[in-house]
Every structure is written in C-alpha cells, then in structure tokens.
Amino acid sequence: MKIKVINPNTTPEMTEDICVSARSGASPGTEVVCLNPAKGPGTVEGWYDEYISISFLIEELLKAERDDPADAYVVACFGDPGLYALRELTDKPVVGVAESAIALTRFVAARFAIVTIMPRIRLMLEELVERCGARHRCASIRTPDLSVADFMDDYDRCEKILIDQAREAIAEDYAEAMILGCAGMAAFVENVRKALPVPVFDAVASGVRVAESLVGLGIGTSKVQTYKPPEKKEFKGLGELFQP
C-alpha cells in the first residue's frame, strides 16, 4: 500500500517533520511518500493562504495520478484545504488530517478540544468542526498567539504554551481528548502526551491511519454525484494537466 501525504505549504523542513509523524501512524509494509508544492505560501495561516495553496495542491494530486499514483492521499494541513475538489479528481480515498482526528476522538472521548495557532484562524476551525458534524462534542478551540514558523524558531516556548493551553482546556472546558490542530505540531506530540491525562491525537498520524483503513477495506471515493469528475469544459491558461 502506498499513501501520499501532501503538505500544502512550501516549507521542506515542515514536510520532513510531517513525514516522521505520518510514518509513525502507518502500519508495517505501508509506503508513505511525503511532498509539498514548489509554489504557494510558506505556511498556511488564514483564508488567503489556504485559498492560494489549493490550486497547487490540485496540481500535485494531478501529477501524482498521472505519473505515480498512490492508493490514498492525505492532505496534511489542519484546515483540510481543497479536500472536496481533490476528491473529484481521483477514485482513491482523499482524507484530511483534521476530519480524521476529529472522527477518531469519538471512539475514546465524549468531548475534545483543539489546541492550534493564532486567534485569526478561530472561525476557520469553528466552520471545520461544524462541517465534520462535531460541534456538539467540541469543548473548545484554543488559539494561543503562535505562528507556524514559531515551532521551528522557538521549540521549547511553543511546547510549554501548547501544554499549558491543553491543561486549561481540560480543567476549564472539560475536554476529555486533545487534538493538536496544526500539521506543523507533529514534533510536539510525544511530550504533550506525556504531560496530559487524556488521549492526544496527532492529526497527521490520524489521517494516515484513516487512509490505510479505507484502502484496507477496499473503499474508494464515491463517484455517483458530489465527487464525480469535474464537468468537461475548457480551463483557459492552465495547461493540459488541468483539463478534466
């Protein structure tokens, strides 16, 4: 089984961390290939970043389907950008790391919290939780003033903030499971788990495990309506790769 994990941002160091996390969630014998686009935002931290990244995500998936298909694809950004569009382009499973982690909390906890990055993305994640049908189970979304770049620049400070925020979510919001709400947080998972008395979900590893499960069950993306291939039409100025 081959799973391709696509980091929508263009930072190779983050892709390397994501790949460590992805492989930790994979079963023996599963080949995990991690990649990121050459074009797009260095980090995804808002609506504009997310929307810009989607076209390059699409390009990476189309290239993969043409040149080196995988059995499933994982979008390694906690906003799950472009997920529905990508599902139109393949009959393979395409899963988001956020939807995967949120779904998995259901099996071990009544309520979960998300600890993520800067406050500006709160609405994005509130809408994401709603889209996943989990609003009634979400105890809180904690948004400390951290950027994705901070994870690489000041690891110790970021780890302390994440643990403190998670502890507050447990004590004050009655969270019973914790999701680290950024693919760039993969390096913190082990220490956060040691520090907390509740299950802690690494979103990237969760995405890989869900993708594996779908492939193992022989289940692909439904093509009867919503995720049918794009309608045939000319897409001007985008080149042959983007023509349905």
pLDDT tens-digit profile of 97-119?
Answer: 999 999 999 999 999 999 999 99
Sign, Cα dihedral of 82, 6, 150, 105: positive
- Measured between alpha carbons, how far is 36 from 25 in angstroms, rounded to an integer? 19
Q: Which amino acid is at 159?
A: E
Average pLDDT in the chain = 94
- Measured between alpha carbons, how far is 83 from 97 in angstroms, rounded to an integer? 10
Q: Is the pLDDT of residue 85 over 80?
A: yes
- Enumerate the H helices of the chain as residue ranges: 12-24, 47-67, 83-87, 97-105, 122-131, 148-153, 155-173, 189-195, 203-216
pTM tops 0.75, yes or no: yes
The domain 2-96+206-242 is placed in CATH, from the list 3.40.50.12500, 3.40.50.1820, 3.20.10.10, 1.10.3080.10, at 3.40.50.12500
- Cβ-contact 189, 153 below 8 angstroms: no
Work out the pLDDT band at 244, boundaries 50, 70, 90: low
When pLDDT is averaged across residues 214-218 and rounded to a whole number, the result is: 98
Asked if domains 2-96+206-242 and 99-203 share a fold, the reply is yes
When pLDDT is averaged across residues 48-69 and rounded to a whole number, the result is: 95
Q: Give the alpha-carbon dihedral of 68, 72, 14, 9, to 10 degrees.
A: 80
- Measured between alpha carbons, how far is 68 from 19 in angstroms, rounded to an integer? 18
- Measured between alpha carbons, how far is 68 from 150 in angstroms, rounded to an integer? 34
For residue 133, the 8-state DSSP code is T
pLDDT tens-digit profile of 64-84?
Answer: 999 999 999 999 999 999 999
> Looking at residue 101, what is its pLDDT?
97
| Domain positions in the chain | 2-96+206-242, 99-203
Q: Is the pLDDT of residue 152 over 90?
A: no
- Measured between alpha carbons, how far is 33 from 151 in angstroms, rounded to an integer? 23
CATH of domain 99-203: 3.40.50.12500
Q: Give the alpha-carbon dihedral of 99, 103, 109, 112, to 10 degrees.
A: 20
